[in-house]
Amino acid sequence: MQKLKDKVVAITGASSGIGEATALLLAQSGAKVVLGARRSDRLEALAKRIVDAGGDAAFAVTDVTQRSDLVRLVTLARDRFGQLDVLLSNAGIAPISRLDELRVDDWEAMIDVNLKGLLFGIAAALPVFRQQGFGHFVNVASTSGIVTTPTMAVYSATKMGVRAISEGLRQEAGPSLRVTIISPGFVQTGLANSMTNPEMKAQINNKMTEIAISPDAIARAIAFAIEQPPEVDVNEIIVRPTAQS
């Protein structure tokens, strides 16, 4: 992965799961990572782990529902490392439930984090990428953005939205900017922690125990997309457990 050396990559949702795994893999490969998430203690510990291993890392507490936080994360990347090569929009939540339960607060939270958080990241990074003349958006969707199942209606809608926004961005991006959609299936992450329905939370945790793959698998897919030559744009990668239907 020599082509990752000195790439500057900002990551939202970096404190655990796919974000953490990707930060570690990219840093081990010589990239400079800029970590964003809400939990400052985990961010600090991850950054220290990377630096202690000889890598380069910076971090900023980042709530993707706050546009100013995304601007601060992008600014930190440029101030610390001189540029921004990649924005990995990974932060997401999934408080799933049947629509009859009318968990409207959960619906709004998914829209705020999964959709508006993505858009705020684009708003922060796109002018920078235009000014630089290069840049790469890597947006984490889900296999739920491809197929909708019961209890997943709103979550699925937000992830379909991620794919729609990403495809529109790709078509508008022109010859110098790249856009990649990463659609994971069941992955061993803390995503179920955001679920407010105890039955759904238990069901998803059980499914994860049965078939979920390591977040390292998704990190490798992300690294593959980033390390391609500038003229190669990997548009979408779907990674799911072999056992997932």
Which segments of the chain does DSSP mark as H helices, in order? 17-28, 40-52, 67-81, 104-110, 117-132, 153-173, 198-211, 215-226
Beta strands 177-184; 135-140: pairing state: parallel
Compute the Cα dihedral for 129, 61, 64, 139 and give only its sign.
positive
Can you tell me the distance from the alpha carbon of 234 to that of 164, in angstroms, rounded to the nearest whole number? 16
180 is catalytic: no
Select from 127, 139, 163 the least CA-distant residue to 64. Answer: 139
Instruction: List, as one string, the DSSP characters of 91-118.
Output: --------GGG--HHHHHHHIIIIIIHH
| Cα atoms found within 13 Å of the Cα of residue 48, Cβ hemisphere only | 6
Beta strands 56-61; 32-37: pairing state: parallel
The alpha carbon of 74 is separated from its chain's Cα centroid by a whole number of angstroms, namely 15
Q: Which residue in 155, 158, 159, 180 is the catalytic one?
A: 155
Catalytic residues: 155
